[in-house]
Amino acid sequence: MTGTPERRPLVHRRTLLGGGLIALGTAAVPPLAGTAVAATGAPSAGAPTDALADEWPTPPNGHPEWRNNIGIFEVNSEPPHATFMPYADLQQALAGDRTDSPYRLGLDGTWRFQHVDRPDDRDPDFHRTDVDDSSWDTIPVPSNWQLHGYDFPIYVNIAYPWWGASGQSEAPLPPEVPTRFNPVGQYRRTFQLPAGWQGRRVHIHFEGVKAGFYVWVNGTRVGYREGSYTPAEFDITDHVRAGTNLVAVEVFRFPDGDWMENQDMIRLSGIFRSVYLYSLPTVHLRDFTLGTRLRDNYTNADLAVTAQIRNSGAQRSGTYTVETQLYDAERRPAWSGTLRLTADIGSAPPGQDITARASRSVPGPRLWSAEHPELYTAVLRLRDPSGAVVQTVSARVGFREFALRDGLIRINGRPVSLRGVNRHEIDADRGAALTREDLVRDIRAMKRLNINAVRTAHYPNNPVWYELADEYGLYVMDEANLETHGVMRDYPASRTDWTAPVIDRAAAMVHRDKNHPSVVIWSLGNEAGAGGNFVTMRNWIRAADPTRIIQYQGDNRPEVSDLRVEGYESPAQVEARASASDRRPYVMHEYAHSMGNSTGNLKEYWDVIRSHPVLQGGFIWDFADEALRWPIPSGGGRTYLSYGGDWGDRPDFAGNFCGNGILDAERRPAGKAVEVKQIYQAVNVSAGADVTAGVIRIANEYLFTNVNEFTGDWALVADGQVVQRGTLTAAQLDVPPLSSRTVALPIRRPAAPAPGAEHFLRLSFTLRSATPWAEAGFEVAKQQLPVDFDSPPIVPTPVTQVPTLTVSDSGGTITVRGTDVTVTISRSTGLMTSYEALGTRLVSSGPVPNFWRAPNDNDRGNGHPTRNATWRSAGANRTVTGVDVRRLSDRAVRVTVRGTLPTSTASQYTTTYTVYGNGEIRVANTLRPGSSSLPYIPEVGTILFLPSALERMHYYGRGPEENHWDRHTGSDVGVYSSTVSDQWTSYLRPQENGNKTDIRWVALVDAQGRGLLAYGEGLLEVNASHFTPEDLSAETRHEYQLSPRPEVVLRLNHRQMGVGGNDTWGAHTLDAYKLFPDREYAYAYRLRPLLAVQDAMALSRRPVSET
């Protein structure tokens, strides 16, 4: 461009780190170049391949920047700075849409692309302007190239991706990198420089590139950058021209900087966040910091502005002024005038910042919190010495204090409870190249699950995420892109050659995100060991930003971390932390490892947290499964959710160790999410002194929200039917933050409750009006309380009132017949081989004694399939030792089956059938473990096989989502209707799923509502599926590889052990949710024909008695 100064000296390593810039979104993209760029000044065919070759010396060790040069992490890049975009006027600045500016040109879209697996095979001249790229492939930007057919994703946890079979076992130690498999992607595209940018500085901005990359503009190499998850920006003013320009980018998959990016996740590559150009005046506001100090007991504030002004042109003089005005949500100015800062532009040489500071009082601001994310907008205008506005920028402002006060973490003075989750940035279809819609989808899901905090595990997130967190209300633990898990004992440790790149990663994050009110904690990284570099890192951040909390679990010394931070401790261990001598607040940076069918005992964690103020919550691992949608081999275009090991990679852990979400990869909620929402809710209700008179206690755990901001409704439910309902009054809902209130609801005691009737009081709290994350009427909290109205006991049907039976015993088969009912029992197996009524087969075979559940991921991780294997086939391989037939009367026959189980110490079981003349069968089961030294029992129950026609399922118990003994707090008791197929809960790897607890009765019926009714003498657990536990116990990797049985597999259980939830690499289910072998187990249920599903409740209350 004309009117620009001479090229700046090349900067080869940055150790003094300043402020930073990033902007968002995309705009219209100029047409794709299909031929070489023909422009004046383009190098000829004989010109050097790099126009800067003579200016860009090779590093001293003779290797390029990307290889064996851990201290060279950038060349010629701009210093980091806060998120902003120059706008044309005040209205654009107030709107804050960074894609809507005449000074921004988006480069997202289609680029030319070529790819090689080895650096030595790449085209060294790809960037030249005389290269014809019309035959190249094309690729969308942003994207990950592995999702477009180039090399393959790799999943590893601790190992580096090039160590094992995923690579070629190269580069065992830093800073060397692989060379035999180290893919390189080369990108090209053209753009038209806007005519209005003449005389302005032009920067190219990359929001995220994985992992190290060079940039050329019009054939000239302009820079290099590492650090995949923070921006890379280059001043290309000297290299662009009016009209058509060419940009070329060369991306290395495994540069030496990747030694610091060994996060447990699916490894993908490429330009995965937005790319754009933007322009600035020659003298410009390069960076700014907004401070929001609260005072006067949090009633007033000061807005402090620190501005860095830079002259990027020739030496000049004069006073430049930065004017700041604060606007509220209605765009009304907060002050009658502006806050003014001045800078003598001649007081520093060109290319250096001039810093100016000033502050102004803001009386009575509306404070920001995750509950009430009140935002203002600060508009900053830079005026030149003549008074003309040359630059206008803006940023959202949230007035809040998040700090350690009186030994606790407090937001605006009140102790916070972090109901958090970890989140990787990944989508099943787009990999790491998330769209704004993807980010909105995720934050809406979090808010709807009562999540109030997120850890950006394990790197700074897409810049849009922080804008949304500001707007929607989330407390963000912002984590530096630093993890060296595989070598963390020795790197970075206290190695001085690693200090500069470590600080660079901290600085890039802090400067980019410092103005976001949602960012409340800085995290130094994850699983990168300990040592002096973390003290230095912490001290740098504290000096740059003294307002925020700093944490790091890997080096938890007070000189590094303001908090005690640990992960995956049991609830008992967490409780012990409350009385430890170290009185720093305790936060779990990771807990409740939610891999597969997990997240058990979450209630136990929060019972402890709620009991001890110093325990201030934690972040569940994690939010959503990492998986990629992939074509099924020979699947005719069908796809599946793939994970580690599916792409030709060789994971160092179980390949599905990336699937730890409370939501699946498609963000579908199931039982885990339901439990999290319930446990994390901030309005809870308990029974008062007399709940039968409607006395309840409402506890409000919100910090700034009165319960009266919600609508409160109650309903009295009898056997699944609402019999009374009402709305809480304004006075009843007036429960201030951090308080509780006892209220009495106008419940009328039922005059004559039906025999056996159960009553529950359900409270529901819903949004009065719509929010960005939910519609009006959305339920934010609920509670179900049992209410005992002393319902009379059920009245059994006397056996004398049922029809008579006949029994025959011959040929190894016992046959019991009654009016329209036939039951056959095999003497050799002890099972029913048929149960028919009214011309319909209800049971094909069973009940098979069963003591096994398909292992879930927690089971696999703790050795359960081997340790507890004695129970796996114990029921299937039982030995029947005796069958007795006894006629109790002419209307009842009892068949008792006794047998042994081949456990390592033989165990005994009995199954007793009592068949009544109306077709009802009482099935009583006992288990006598052979020794208390046997392993605990995965499940105590039976399996029945039903005809496929009985596909419709109705039940009275906890639901509707899957729930388990240690994970059912969020699942209310009710009457639910579904299908057997819909009981299936998908996990990345098939495993135990679909369980239901506290079941009173279950009906499996056909399309006409006729079928089988089963109900317990006491509460049952039930699982209806098209798979047996054994079907799901094989090493099947994916659902599409399973073949469902046509018949219905019905498990009627005393109980299944809990799913567990502490971790997935050794922790067992808590003892409270185990079935130990030191006792006898006895339970009974009844089976009977069902002519109409609406009769199920009544029939379950009329069992046949023996007299």
User: Is 527 marked active-site?
Assistant: yes
921 forms bridges with which residues in the sheet? 915, 1087
Question: What is the rounded CA–CA span in Å between residue 136 and residue 827?
Answer: 74
Kindly list the distances between the CA atom of residue 324 and the CA atoms of 330, 333, 1008, in Å, as whole numbers in the listed order.
17, 10, 72
Per annotation, catalytic residue among 590, 701, 992, 1021: 590
Q: In terms of C-beta density within 10 A (0-12 exposed, 13-18 middle, 19 or more buried), how is residue 779 classed?
A: middle
Strand order in the sheet with 389-397: 339-344, 319-327, 376-383, 389-397
Non-local CB neighbours of 726 within 8 Å, separated by 6+ positions: 713, 714, 715, 745, 746
| DSSP assigned state of 468 | H
Closest of 395, 416, 394, 393 to residue 405, by C-alpha: 416
602-611 and 671-680 helices cross at what angle (nearest 10)?
Answer: 10
Q: Cβ-count burial of 628 within 10 angstroms (0-12 exposed, 13-18 middle, 19+ buried)?
A: buried
**Both structure tokens of 22:** 């990033």
Cα–Cα distance for residue pair 1013/976, rounded to 1 Å? 14
Q: What are the percentages of helix, strand and coil residues in the chain, rounded to 5?
A: 15, 35, 50
- 114: which 2 tokens? 């070529």
Q: What are phi and psi of 259, to 5 degrees?
A: -60, -20
Backbone angles phi, psi at 600, to 5 degrees: -75, 165
Q: Reduce the DSSP state of residue 886 to 3 states and report it.
A: strand
Q: Are 864 and 991 in contact (CB under 8 A)?
A: no
Torsion over CA of 990, 994, 997 and 1003, rounded to 10 degrees? -150
Point out which residues pair with 814 in neighbouring strands. 809, 825
The amino acid that residue 718 corresponds to is A
* C-alpha to C-alpha distance for 639 and 631, rounded to whole angstroms: 4
Which pair of tokens denotes residue 413? 């003075």
Q: Which of 98, 81, 94 has the alpha carbon at shortest distance from 25? A: 98
614's CB contacts (< 8 A; 6+ apart) are: 407, 408, 577, 578, 583, 585, 586
Tokens for 515, please give them. 């103005």
Q: Does the active-site annotation cover 590?
A: yes
For the CA atoms of 459, 463, 466, 468, the dihedral, rounded to the nearest 10 degrees, stands at: -130
> Residues 757-767, buried b or exposed e (16+ Cβ, 10 A)?
bbbbbbbbbbb
> One-letter amino acid identity for 1106?
E
Q: For the stretch 515-547, what's the b/e string if a residue is b when 16 or more beta carbons lie within 10 angstroms of its beta carbon?
A: bbbbbbbbbbbbbbbbbebbebbbebbeebbee
8 Å CB contact between 731 and 707? no
Q: Give residue 175's identity as a one-letter amino acid code.
A: P
Q: Which of 374, 527, 569, 701 is catalytic?
A: 527
Tell me the two tokens of residue 910: 């009995």
Residues 183 and 116: beta-carbon distance below 8 Å: yes
Amino acid code (one letter) for 869: A
- Whole-angstrom CA distances from 702 to 150, 683, 736, 738, 765 are 49, 7, 8, 6, 13
Give the residue numbers annotated as catalytic, written as ranges: 527, 590
